[in-house]
Amino acid sequence: MTELRGPVRIVGTGLIGTSIGLALARLGVVVELVDGNPDNALMAERIGAGSRLVQIEPQLVVVAVPPDHVGAVVAEQLQQTDAVVTDAASVKSKPLADARRLTGDLSRYVGSHPMAGSERNGPLAGRADLFDGATWAITPHETSNPEAVDLVRRLAEAAGARTVEMSVEDHDLGVARVSHLPHLMSALAAGTLADAPSSHLELSGQGVRDVTRIAAGDPTLWTQIVSANSGALTGLLEQIRGELDRLLVALGKEEAGDELTAILGQGVSGAVRVPGKHGTPHIDLVTVLVTIPDRPGQLAKLFADAAESGANVEDLRIDHSPGRPVGEVELAVKPASVDQLVDVLTDRGWVVHR
């Protein structure tokens, strides 16, 4: 087993690069920070992600730059060091192809992709626990050295992630399905709101917030991501186009119930296949709705009361309806915990709905 000793050079100190640095720093691994924007590197250093002044040959280089530049930086680091090189890009085929054009020996290069992030970016968004429990894909190519693959696996595990190994092509189709396509669908739905009358927006509830949340991601970065994965996305979008045509035909019929039910049912079938927290299989949860006054301290009180019931809250979300002095907190718990949770919250004065 290859030991991750360090130093680790991180090229690119945005959200992912800084978070990797913070995760390694908590284990005492020496981290060198490199960024074309010196302000970003300085900020990452100040929050403890590593140092800009490390002068030791790295054991491992992590390339965490925008997708369009990954292949060139990978090739550069392979040529300048004897280190194993990985990257954190969300698309793997293009960086591999770009690196192949620019350098010969790719045996020390192993692609990888931590499946974690947020709508925020930059070093100040970095968190040492960003990868805890997350999936980290490792995508060796046909000439990757097995020891290099093992070292990249050690990196992911050191950051707190669980690893899954797959081919470059399978990875790109997978992320197109579970990440890139949902982002595009969210962007299209959110785009219909851009010129919507204010009176329509006043009707907004949690549904539209759920669907449009990820559309707030950086358009420039996402342009690079979806462009780099256009092959895999094209096939999925053609499938979606077929389903949209089917939906439009159904809506144009006077008796469209059966067809609409079939389309919506297919959505349910897909939704229940999404893994639960920590990558566990999907489990059926029951939602308990709690009306909560919009004033300081109420969330803390609710969580304390829920804890007293002994029920484990598996998930939650908050619905802020426009114009109302209260909100609704949806607590998702296992069916066996519902009664005890409802009883305790009701006894403590909360307005509870199942």
Give the pLDDT confidence of 31-68 residue by residue, as tens digits. Answer: 999 999 999 999 999 999 999 988 889 999 999 998 88
Q: Say what the pLDDT of residue 279 is.
A: 54
Mean pLDDT score of the chain: 89
Residue 113 has pLDDT above 70, yes or no: yes
Bigger pLDDT: 351 vs 197: 197
Domains and CATH numbers, the chain: 8-166 (3.40.50.720), 173-273 (1.10.3660.10), 286-353 (3.30.70.260)
Alpha-carbon dihedral angle through residues 44, 135, 169, 66, given to the nearest 10 degrees:
-10
Residue 140 has pLDDT above 90, yes or no: yes
Which residues contact residue 94 at a Cβ distance below 8 angstroms, ignoring those fewer than 6 apart?
67, 70, 71, 228, 229
**Sheet strand arrangement including 84-87:** 31-34, 8-11, 60-63, 84-87, 109-114, 135-139, 162-165
pLDDT digits (tens, 9 = 90+) for 165-176: 999 999 999 999
pTM: 0.77
Q: Say what the pLDDT of residue 302 is.
A: 86
CA distance 304 to 329: 14
Q: Which two tokens stand for residue 263?
A: 């389309």
pLDDT digits (tens, 9 = 90+) for 202-258: 888 778 888 888 888 889 888 988 998 999 999 999 999 999 999 998 888 877 788
Q: Where are the alpha helices (DSSP H) in 8-135?
A: 15-25, 38-46, 70-80, 93-102
Q: Are 17 and 10 in contact (CB under 8 A)?
A: yes
Across the range 5-20, mean pLDDT stands at 95
Q: Are 42 and 35 in contact (CB under 8 A)?
A: no
pLDDT digits (tens, 9 = 90+) for 146-172: 999 999 999 999 999 999 999 999 999
Q: Say what the pLDDT of residue 276 is.
A: 60
Residue 297 has pLDDT above 80, yes or no: yes
